[in-house]
Amino acid sequence: MSRCWQSSTISSCSDGTCADFIPGMHVLPGAEFSTGIRQAPHFGPRLYSSRLIPSSFIANFSPACLPLSRFNQADLSTLKLKRQRLNGQLSDARSLLDQALREASKREGLAAAAAAEGPITPLKTSSAVRPVRIVLICGFESFNVALYNAAAKRLKALAPHIQLKVYSDRDIASRKKEVGIALAGADCFFGSLLFDYDTVEWLRSQLTTVPVVLVFESALELMGMTRIGTFTMDPSGKSKGPPPAIKKVLSMFGSGREEDRLTGYLSFLKIGPQLLKFLPGKKARDLRTWLTVYGYWNQGGLQNVVSMFLYLTEQQLAPAGLPTPPPPLETPQTGCLHPARPGHYWASPADYMAWYKKEGPLRGTDAPIVGMLLYRKHVITDQPYVLQLISQMEAEGLIPVPVFINGVEAHTVVRDQLTSDHEQHEIAAGRLDRGTLRRDAVKVDALVSTIGFPLVGGPAGTMEGGRQVEVAKAILSSMNVPYVVAAPLLIQDLASWSEQGIQGLQSVVLYSLPELDGAIDTVPLGGLVGDDIFLVPERVTRLASRLHKWVALRRKPPSERRLALLLYGFPPGVGATGTAALLNVPQSLERLLGAMQAAGYDLGDLPEGPGALEGLGEALLKTLKGQEEPRTVSRGTQGINALGAGPAAQWGVQPAAAEVSPQHLRDLLTFPHTWGPTEWGPIPYLPDEDALVRRMERQWGNLLSYRGINSTTRGTLLVPGVQLGKLWIGIQPLLGLEGDPMRLLFERDLTPHPQYAAAYKWLQQDYGADAVIHFGMHGTVEWLPGSPLGNTGLSWSDVLLGPLPNVYLYAANNPSESIIAKRRGYGTIISHNVPPYGRAGLYKQLTILRDLLSDVRGDPNSVGALKDAIAGNVEASGLQADCPLREGEEMSAEQAAAVGDEEFLEWCDRLYIYLQTLENRLFSEGLHILGAPPSTSQMAQYLGAYYGDALPSEAVEVLAEGQGAERARAALEKAWRQPAARPAEAPADASQLLKEAESIRSLLLRNREELSGLLNALDGAWVPPEAGGDLLRDGPGVLPTGRNIHALDPYRMPGPAAEARGAAAAEAILTAHREQNNGAYPETVAINLWGLDAIKTKGESVGMVLHMVGARPVKEGTGRIARYELIPLEEMNGRPRVDCLCNMSGIFRDAFQNVVELLDDLFARAAAANEPEHMNFIRKHARDLERQGVTSGNTARLFSNPAGDYGSMVNERVGAGNWENSEELGDTWAARNAFSYGKGGERGVARPEVLQTLLGSCERVVQEIDSVEYGLTDIQEYYANTGALVAAAKNARKGKNVGCSIIETYGKKVEPKELEEVLRLEYRSKLLNPRWAQAMAAQGSGGAYEISTRMTALLGWGGTVGYTDSFAWDQAADTYVLDPEMAAQLRASNPQAFRNVLGRCLEAHGRGMWQPNEEMIDKLRKMYGEMDDELEGVK
């Protein structure tokens, strides 16, 4: 008997074939769990999951059935996480079984094919022969393993003395001894597409004695071992290359352009053997042999591979008089193909289209024409997916122009043989030179690369991210059509993609490198099953649907386009509706609507003219907020229509809500009932048609009876919004988790709630949007559950966005989170600038204190008279802890009276320096307005913040006014003539500096391109890419905005400067720690690895980890970092290796998987190093875990949230007030971050016992701050992660102190500060600063919300690390509550935000963080009650 958990009843399922035991999955008739194999049409052996208990059962198991009183939260979480880990191990075992079954099936197929060929007659030899042993190892072309094995069998039949052994690079890991023995006795090694560093290093050690080595298209170090006779590719520089005559021949090939050099090289490879036979000398003959062998390999196919080894044996290995093999059976280097003409290749796209217009299946239609770049290797080896892909694209209503290339010619094909209406129009208008574009170039509406890599260089540029990017930009800008990358995975199999997402180098090939060229909408089309490539046709359907939508945008005039614009409103109830980080949403909306109106969009009765839209933004937000009122929602569309458009009606705005019935939602979420293996391909399981519905109902209950978020009294799901002509504007639905974050501790397979799904599906299907605009940073759809990277058909982001082009407005300084929007949310990113920078200055008591200090410094004799006043102002300002008289002794009136004058004056000097630091701290002033160029004063703020003391303010003002460099020079020289006015960092010649400043001014004035960039995206055009970052940190290279921002090449992390700065920061942290701990080193330091920090600093946090451990990067030939090697202890100046607990953000985990693997490998080698434990804390802690019985994962050091999940949920608990103490918040963090990542199968393995052990030895936490815009006090993530990590470590250490070092990396210096010091600096320079407060309040509802969030963060720091400085709460209340003018302003602009300000003050008092007088508390309670009544409509 077994429990059929779906029905929660005991049933007889002893045979294990209960067809409904996994919701969302069905078992085909006749399928057996013992093998899990069923034949599926078109795909060969079909595999189904052999799980008897699905992982989702354990992951979704509710603890409600357990007696909770017996467990605390940490114990419960640990038990659950261990259970998840065991389930993962079972899954791994099943995967190994499935792989073995696949290999057995393939062996049977090959044997059957060989039997069908019949007997082969051996070739005759003219002399005695000796055995020839050849070892072949293939890397990224593992799809050719079957071909090479077939060649080995044919060679054995034709020439029995030739023994060819075939391996893939994966065999080196699983069968290393066998491969090593084979290489030891080999006469020849043949390798192709080998890049893995460990593989390459091992092969290099094995190949030193092999006589002939041939390596093609692999790591430079390995190709450098190529030797055949006298010809070598010696990387040492001793070999001077080919003879002069050969060099002369080489120079004759190619166009002369740098970017075409590799293409010319391929041309030489083809004709080289014929030319070289006329040149004398053995070196030329050996080079000819190498070229001939390469020619055979490059042409591919069984006949060519067999001929290649016969030729090689006769020429170099063991001549036996074998007949000369036929020349290579050639396929064009580039060309076109089509399933209707199997085996036929057209020489060019023009020839292909000439045929297609006569015979093509979609001839005579207006179907979109899509250029498709295919990998030639796959074409010539007859990979079945190629023709299947072409056929399906046609079946989806697209005319494919399939061009196969080797890879390096991609840009020449796009540049010379494909064109677009835009390019032809620009050429006709004389704005664009034709260049090498052919007259018969084929017009396309979109471009799809099924190869990945950079457009220029292709696979040859794999490890050289950004190589020739400017050339690619020029080509794609000229074409100006959507450029999409959609390819099958060649480094990863379908099972790992389905279970863990796209990883490592595969993610670089498919995402990171193409994004440098402006690629969008990446769709994985399939992947490996064993060594074979299979399509997932459902993914091809998704690709085609998105292409159709993009082309429709290009073809429709603006007046006919139906658009949807989504604003944000999460978290609820605190004034977040219609806000976005760093952006003034109301005024930005007004500017966008004006630009759309001018571009011809249908916006209904929107008035025209200067100033006509002023006030519309705030009115829209007020109307949309009114639609959130529960009574209105309960009445559905009737309630929305009765409410009307409110204050927005005067601009022609109309209410536009919709109701989606539960049954309709079920239909929208149901896959076609006819879908089966043909549509889903050989993924590891076959979803039922209602798989999504079942998942949703498991979490939210039966849809037909659901009554929850935005449900009406009739049970329908309300989608509120307003309409302006053909533009619908609404608020993105809430996630539905606020107030109940504990659910995430027990449910990993979350789904969006029904109304969330209904809203997006309504936009797709019922409203019929042509595109959606996500307005600002950031929404939530891209963060929904699903594959961490590489959407599948069951990823909720993919399901809800569907075919919709997603134009996503994002702050330029956040390339980290924007890549999630780009990759998971199909976002075409349009960057916007950050607000101008302000200097904090001094205010209130701080100003008085500065003046008093100036007086006493100017007249030391006045010290006695001023002591009391200075000490009193220090106490009033809360500066005692920042500037203590002596260590551990805070200044007070009593101390001031008792201390000597000389010591008091020394203390005054320190205090004065502190005030200078505070006065000059930068902050982000106000919010940015989309497309608005900076005013003169704002320009001066940008330039002043960027140059600091290097340019005097007089010169900055001249430059900001646009008076030019010469006048600025005059102002600069005049200012520097003053005594001691020239700063030490000022350059000797300011010409270059002034020229750069002028350039920055020009770039900032191009903020207008934010609007034009957004409109270009809505035109279906290509949006220019640019690196994300901010001016202060990254310089002018991040400007102008209005660009499709991307991140850095992950294989260059850390960069040289980042490595040096990271090491300096780590050393400073260790020094400071030792000073506080009697010279002792910390055993473990927790370092936060965040995606945004890593991208903007080029990996300084990774540099810190390396220095702590004692390691350095090792680069291979292309500059790619391939390993972090241990520095010998004797080179570490007597210090030990410090263990590191690396807490990774979800973005770092997903975007830098190669770095994760390298770090994991580093920790494993450090733990295995034969070193004393007192000098190697990694080894010490690993052995401690072994002694505790933890043998698996005892070197795990990289922890994060569950795979595909993000966030600690601590901020959700603080936001909802759902917590009791810091211990509870620390436990929440630990439960959410107990998942280990690294090499192999270490992809979110639950290891709570390892985490707790590391936390127990953790003496310090380290956090970087990468920008002025986002400090510790500005966003919730810092306290929710850094603060909660400190709390978790304190829990594990039974209350012992845990230090926290903060590194502000946007400055020139890397000086660590203690956490509380930075908190006080930030609060004084921002939240409590009248200048910051007034600038933010002036931004309307968005500014009020920003103030509100910082009050929540103040409470969060109190909850996690016990930060309870009373001056912070006192001055916050004075500034935002007790100041009548400010309170009235906040109350009017955003009542919910103001209520949150009041509520957080009251909560702080209730939790004992703040002790104001009773009069203050009574006033706060009264004001809060009034706000509550107002928002509830009582008055």
- Six-digit token pair at 1257? 């030895």
pLDDT (average), residues 1104-1111? 97
Q: Is the pLDDT of residue 717 over 50?
A: yes
Q: Can you give the pLDDT at residue 320? A: 81
- Say how far apart CA 1023 and CA 517 lie, in whole Å: 10
Q: Can you give the pLDDT at residue 65? A: 36
Element (H, E) at 1301: strand 1299-1304
How many Å from the N-terminal Cα to the C-terminal Cα in the chain? 63
For the ranges 456-465, 498-507, 860-869, which has the lowest average pLDDT? 456-465
For a pLDDT cut of 70, what percent of the chain falls above it? 85
DSSP annotation string for 398-419? -EEEEEEE-STTHHHHHHHHEE
pLDDT (average), residues 581-586? 94
Residue 238: partners with Cβ closer than 8 Å, 6 or more residues away: none
For the ranges 900-904, 1272-1276, 1316-1320, 1349-1353, which has the lowest average pLDDT? 900-904
- Say how far apart CA 251 and CA 264 lie, in whole Å: 9
Residue 100: partners with Cβ closer than 8 Å, 6 or more residues away: none
Q: Is the pLDDT of residue 1129 over 50?
A: yes
Q: Which residue has the tokens 């329908």?
A: 716
460 confidence band (pLDDT: 50, 70, 90): low
Amino acid of residue 4: C
Q: Are 1227 and 81 in contact (CB under 8 A)?
A: no
1196 confidence band (pLDDT: 50, 70, 90): very high
Q: Are 1332 and 1322 in contact (CB under 8 A)?
A: no
Q: Is the pLDDT of residue 515 over 70?
A: yes
Q: How many helices (H) and strands (E) does the chain have?
A: 59, 42
Q: Is the pLDDT of residue 1184 over 80?
A: yes
Produce one character per residue of 73-111: b if its CB has 16 or more CB atoms within 10 Å, e if not.
bbebbbebbeebbebbeebeebbeebeebbeebbeeeee
Q: What share of residues in the chain are helix, strand, coil (percent, to 5)? A: 50, 15, 35
3-state secondary structure 1338-1351: CCCHHHHHHHHHHH
- Say how far apart CA 301 and CA 309 lie, in whole Å: 13
Q: Which residue has the tokens 């004692």?
A: 1110
Q: Residue 811: which of 859, 760, 774, 850 has the closest Cα?
A: 774
Q: Can you give the pLDDT at residue 1385? A: 96
What one-character DSSP code corresponds to residue 1239? S
Q: Is the pLDDT of residue 288 over 50?
A: yes
What radius of gyration do the chain's Cα atoms show? Answer: 34
Q: Are 1276 and 1352 in contact (CB under 8 A)?
A: yes
- Say how far apart CA 840 and CA 1324 lie, in whole Å: 8
What one-character DSSP code corresponds to residue 281? S
Q: Residue 1310: which of 1277, 1260, 1262 has the closest Cα?
A: 1262
pLDDT (average), residues 673-697? 89
CB burial class (10 A; 0-12, 13-18, 19+) of residue 1430? middle
480 confidence band (pLDDT: 50, 70, 90): very high
Mean pLDDT of the chain: 85
- Say how far apart CA 871 and CA 69 lie, in whole Å: 53
Q: Can you give the pLDDT at residue 319? A: 83
User: Distance between alpha carbon 1082 and the CA centroid of its chain, in Å?
Assistant: 32
pLDDT (average), residues 1368-1374? 95
> How are beta strands 212-216 and 231-232 bridged, if at all?
unpaired
887 vs 1145: which has the higher pLDDT: 1145
Give me the half-sphere count of Cα atoms (radius 13 Å) on the Cβ side of residue 1426. 11
Q: Are 819 and 1046 in contact (CB under 8 A)?
A: yes
Q: Are 321 and 127 in contact (CB under 8 A)?
A: yes
Q: Residue 740: which of 709, 786, 719, 712 has the closest Cα?
A: 709
- Say how far apart CA 1352 and CA 1327 lie, in whole Å: 12
Q: Is the pLDDT of residue 829 over 50?
A: yes
pLDDT (average), residues 951-974? 87
- Six-digit token pair at 864? 């006695």
Q: Can you give the pLDDT at residue 965? A: 83
241 vs 1401: which has the higher pLDDT: 1401
List pLDDT tens digits, range 973-1015: 787 777 666 666 666 678 888 899 999 999 999 999 999 999 9
For a pLDDT cut of 90, what percent of the chain falls above it? 57
968 confidence band (pLDDT: 50, 70, 90): confident
What 3-state class would DSSP assign to 82? helix
588 vs 91: which has the higher pLDDT: 588
Q: Are 549 and 771 in contact (CB under 8 A)?
A: yes
Residue 604: partners with Cβ closer than 8 Å, 6 or more residues away: 652, 653, 654, 723, 724, 725
Q: Can you give the pLDDT at residue 237? A: 43
Residue 358: partners with Cβ closer than 8 Å, 6 or more residues away: none
Produce one character per residue of 1128-1144: b if its CB has 16 or more CB atoms within 10 Å, e if not.
ebeeeeeebbbbbbbbb
Q: Is the pLDDT of residue 239 over 50?
A: no
pLDDT (average), residues 538-559? 97
Q: Is the pLDDT of residue 1203 over 90?
A: no
List pLDDT tens digits, range 1057-1090: 999 999 999 999 999 999 999 999 999 999 999 9
950 confidence band (pLDDT: 50, 70, 90): confident
Classify the C-alpha dihedral 305-309-311-315 as positive or negative: positive
